[in-house]
Amino acid sequence: MRPALMLFLALILLAGNGTAQEAFDWQTHSSKKNITDASFSRNGIWAGTEGGAFYFDISDSAYYTLTKTEGLDGSGISAVFVDDQGSVWFGNQNGTIDIINRSAKTKHRIFDIFSSNNSTKQIYDFEQKGDTIFVSTDFGITLVHRTSFRIIDTFSKLGSFSSKIKIRQTLNRDRIFAATEFGVAMQIPGTTNLTAPESWQNFTTAQGLLSASVVELGIFRDTLIAATAAGISYFNGTSWSDFLSFFRNKSVLDIYIKGDSLYILQGDRLYLYENGRITEPFNLLFTNTARIIYISDYGYFAHKSGILRVPYTSFNIAYLFPEGPAANQFLNLDIDNSGNLWVATGKDVAGIGTFKYDGFSWQNINTSTTSGFPSNSVYNVNGGGDNNVYLSTWGAGMIRMSNNGSIAHFTAANTPMRGISANYNYLVIADTKTDSRNNVWILNHDAANQKTLAALTPDSTWHLFANYSDSSLAQYSKLVIDQFDTKWFLCADPSRVGLFYFNENKTFGIKTDDRYGYLSNLSELYGKTINDLVIDQRGDLWLGTNLGVFYISNLYSFVSLAQPSVRVNSVFSLRQYSVNCMAVDPLNRKWIGTNQGLLLMSSDGGTLITYFDSKNSPLLSDEIRSIAIDNKSGKVYVGLDGGLSVFSTYAQEPAASLDNLALYPSPFILSENSPHLTIDGLVKESELKVITLSGKVVRTIITPGGRVANWNGKDDDGKDVSTGVYIIVAYDKDGNNISSQKIAVIRK
């Protein structure tokens, strides 16, 4: 067993099962625009996406959403089917199957395909015959009992086709037909042992199919037809022939049969074959349309931008999807002074602007939605310390967004900053931060004038600085500013990769007192790639690397001494982890994002408090991309490839006074499964005493240090207290700030 895995298992044992206490009220936010499959059901459409599922009610245009928080597996959905009892079957890319019945309020999950030893397990299609569900998979056809959810059988060798081939669709009429990448597999009439290859007959181009790549099968006017990569073929009972020569040598994406009408999706157009004629019922292009969902008064289509709804009589098309982020791209996260979450989506053409989430709704800000917004390549975000939000772009400079919605754009044309050597106007901003004097510091990724750092003062004055340790370097990535206004930044230049620092000592015009240096040449950091850096509540600098976590204390020496004495401390328990991102909560605990999940460490990093991954929590995956913490509310935001996971914690910023001390629930019912009593409104480093009305102290509690603490109803000996009225007294560590509240305790 690898050392990293052994260490992870050891940490899990040390952590115990504290996940429920440390995180609650989980939510999943994901874009549900890219429709991977959909199915019509009575008055609405169930749609599956890479970020979950939703139901669109055609009658009232209402949405009902499902994510991992509501019970889905959490991986990308690849197939959707509604059975004859109204249960919705969701097949996932990883092989799991979720079955949801809203009216019966039931949920089931089938793990058999996911747990199989097949190398690929994606589910492509469902077909029902009585109480049997035929599941088309990456390795064959699996039969599932509709009510017991047990696997009945699996057919993985269909005739002379290779074993375990991808089945795109299974069609069951008088016998079973399978659409594959190699042709059509057909059950030989009268055979019952379908696990035997000889029970299947195979059809390829040699038997008349226009292409062996069969997309979909259907029964049109009592005739079996096959949509292929080179047109449509029909089965005459013994072989296949060309059907509708208009589509010969054209790749057909989907077919939809409604009575005597056949709809064909080919290229970017939809055709209708009816009464011997081929027409185009909708005079528009169907670019990026994946399949036909349902056609009635409107046409409904699966599209990468939502459910495409097209009316027959006008061009008033609509893309239907529930409210949420525009895409599942959460490259960097930050919280502004008002508690809004801001999201950077990507660099170059991958970026689609920025997202703002106020706790209730999402605002997608980009060049299409917001007038004056200059670029979609938003690479980093800074909530700022001056009531503005700063967006770093990849090539378009810096964007400042104020509370009133105004936008300021800083480029190489209107600032002293310069872009890359090949194009001075291509200004890549790696990161921005605000110092104690509200100067905005800007890290230039690759400045042609070698001015790595720029400072914009509140009076709009610019000051530029080179990396005096080595001004020839480029490829800068991350920036933080400590309590002494020292700028710590990362460089990925192969000639001198690692950690640099700079402090101008609050004198922009004087260079003789500047402090700067390079620390990745120290033995503890040498050869390690630093992926993230944060300043904690004590003012220590924490470094997340590809080989563990390190921290540097006594940052004052980097300002006070020309040659500071540096000690790099290693967090022993995390020495084998590759860290992607980090965040610090108000209790000075460290949240560590890795490819194995999210770890919560004690303030000194020595103890794993708890951990979350896709198996023990609603996290969408184990690969953590970004983290942000709202210190006021205690919410933790975790960016992942499939969406954003959000949960609440009790780690909230302490109050300024004890004037608003609150206790809940009231009365406090003390039983085996009752929640703890919450004491809210505490100041920093509060202590608590639980006192009877007669004045006896039954419990003394040292709080975690934030705004909220809990009492489990036990006395100092670990025994449940008796029924009665108790006084909770809260006070700061110096005894200068005191408050109390009464609480009735009912012991059951």
Strands (E), 493-642: 498-503, 515-518, 530-535, 541-545, 548-552, 568-570, 579-584, 590-594, 597-601, 608-612, 626-630, 635-640
Cβ-based neighbour number of residue 626 at 10 Å: 22
Cβ-based neighbour number of residue 218 at 10 Å: 19
Rounded to two decimals, the pTM is 0.89
Contact 514, 503 (CB under 8 A): yes
Position 312 pLDDT exceeds 90: no
Position 108 pLDDT exceeds 50: yes
> If we measure between CA atoms, which residue out of 365, 395, 368, 392 comes closest to residue 378?
392
Q: Which residues contact 695 (CB under 8 A, 6 or more apart)?
A: none
DSSP for 72-138, please give it. Answer: ---SPEEEEEE-TTSPEEEEETTS-EEEEETTTTEEEEE-HHHHSS-S---EEEEEEETTEEEEEET
> If we measure between CA atoms, which residue out of 594, 46, 616 comes closest to residue 322?
46
| pLDDT mean over 543-564 | 94
| pLDDT mean over 355-373 | 96
According to DSSP, residue 348 is labeled G
Q: Tell me whether residue 377 is exposed, middle or buried, using C-beta atoms within 10 angstroms of its C-beta: 0 to 12, 13 to 18, 19 or more.
A: buried
Q: Which residues contact 485 (CB under 8 A, 6 or more apart)?
A: 435, 436, 437, 503, 506
- Report residue 484: phi and psi, to 5°: -100, 10
Task: Quote the mean pLDDT of the chain.
Answer: 94
* Separation between Cα atoms, residue 375 and residue 349, nearest integer Å: 10
Tokens of 491: 């460089």
Q: Which residues contact 524 (CB under 8 A, 6 or more apart)?
A: 550, 568, 570
CA 724 to chain centre: 47
The type of residue at 345 is T
According to DSSP, residue 606 is labeled -
Position 2 pLDDT exceeds 90: no
Q: What is the largest CA-CA distance in the chain?
A: 96
Q: Do domains 1-29+571-653 and 662-747 have the same CATH topology?
A: no
Provide the pLDDT confidence category of residue 561 given band limits of 50, 70 and 90: confident
The whole-number pLDDT of residue 234 equals: 98
Contact 738, 730 (CB under 8 A): yes
Q: Which residues contact 161 (CB under 8 A, 6 or more apart)?
A: 180, 182, 183, 185, 200, 202
Using a pLDDT cut of 70, give the percent of the chain over it: 97
Cβ-based neighbour number of residue 405 at 10 Å: 9
What tens digit of pLDDT does each residue of 567-597 get? 999 999 898 899 999 999 999 999 999 999 9
> If we measure between CA atoms, which residue out of 587, 586, 541 comes closest to residue 567?
541
Peptide bond into 665 cis (omega under 30): yes
The type of residue at 593 is G
Position 492 pLDDT exceeds 70: yes
The H-assigned helical ranges of 507-564 are 557-560
Provide the pLDDT confidence category of residue 563 given band limits of 50, 70 and 90: confident
What does CATH list as the number for 1-29+571-653?
Answer: 2.130.10.10
Report strand pairing: 123-129 vs 132-137.
antiparallel
Q: Tell me whether residue 511 is exposed, middle or buried, using C-beta atoms within 10 angstroms of its C-beta: 0 to 12, 13 to 18, 19 or more.
A: exposed
Provide the pLDDT confidence category of residue 118 given band limits of 50, 70 and 90: very high
| pLDDT mean over 25-36 | 96
What tens digit of pLDDT does each residue of 232-242 get? 999 999 999 99
Measure Cα distances from 732 to 77, 557, 687, 705 in Å: 52, 31, 6, 10
Measure Cα distances from 267 to 123, 218, 258, 315 in Å: 24, 19, 21, 20
> If we measure between CA atoms, which residue out of 190, 193, 175 comes closest to residue 129?
175
The whole-number pLDDT of residue 607 equals: 93
What tens digit of pLDDT does each residue of 423-476 get? 999 999 999 999 999 999 999 999 999 999 999 999 999 999 999 999 999 999
| pLDDT mean over 276-301 | 93
The length of the chain, given as a count of residues: 748
The type of residue at 140 is G
Tally of CA atoms within 13 A in the half-sphere of 186 that contains its CB: 21
Q: Which helix (H) or strand (E) holds 167?
A: strand 167-172
* Separation between Cα atoms, residue 31 and residue 644, nearest integer Å: 9
Contact 462, 415 (CB under 8 A): yes
Position 17 pLDDT exceeds 80: no
Report strand pairing: 498-503 vs 487-491.
antiparallel
Contact 228, 214 (CB under 8 A): yes
Position 8 pLDDT exceeds 80: no
Contacts of 220-223 with CB under 8 Å at 24 or more apart are: 220/257, 220/262, 221/260
Position 523 pLDDT exceeds 50: yes
Strands (E), 296-420: 298-303, 306-311, 318-320, 332-335, 341-344, 354-357, 362-365, 378-382, 388-395, 398-402, 407-410
Provide the pLDDT confidence category of residue 30 given band limits of 50, 70 and 90: very high
Tokens of 154: 């699996």
Angle, CA of 597, 615 and 126, to the nearest 5°: 125
* Separation between Cα atoms, residue 630 and residue 333, nearest integer Å: 11
The whole-number pLDDT of residue 737 equals: 87
| pLDDT mean over 148-157 | 97
CA 544 to chain centre: 21
Contact 728, 710 (CB under 8 A): no
CA 600 to chain centre: 18
* Separation between Cα atoms, residue 708 and residue 717, nearest integer Å: 23
DSSP for 410-470, please give it. Answer: E-TTTSS---BTTBTT-EEEEEEEE-TT-PEEEEESS-TT---EEEE-TTS-EEEE--TT-
> If we measure between CA atoms, which residue out of 729, 727, 723 comes closest to residue 743?
727
> If we measure between CA atoms, which residue out of 665, 730, 656, 723 comes closest to residue 692?
723
Contact 728, 740 (CB under 8 A): yes
The whole-number pLDDT of residue 658 equals: 93
Angle, CA of 375, 379 and 383, to the nearest 5°: 100
Instruction: State the distance between the two ends of the chain, measured CA to CA, in whole angstroms.
Output: 48
Sequence ranges of the domains in the chain: 1-29+571-653, 662-747
Superfamily name and number for 662-747? Macroglobulin (MG2) domain (2.60.40.1930)
The helices-and-strands tally (H runs, E runs) of the chain is 4, 64
Coil/strand/helix, residue 150: coil
- Report residue 305: phi and psi, to 5°: -110, 15
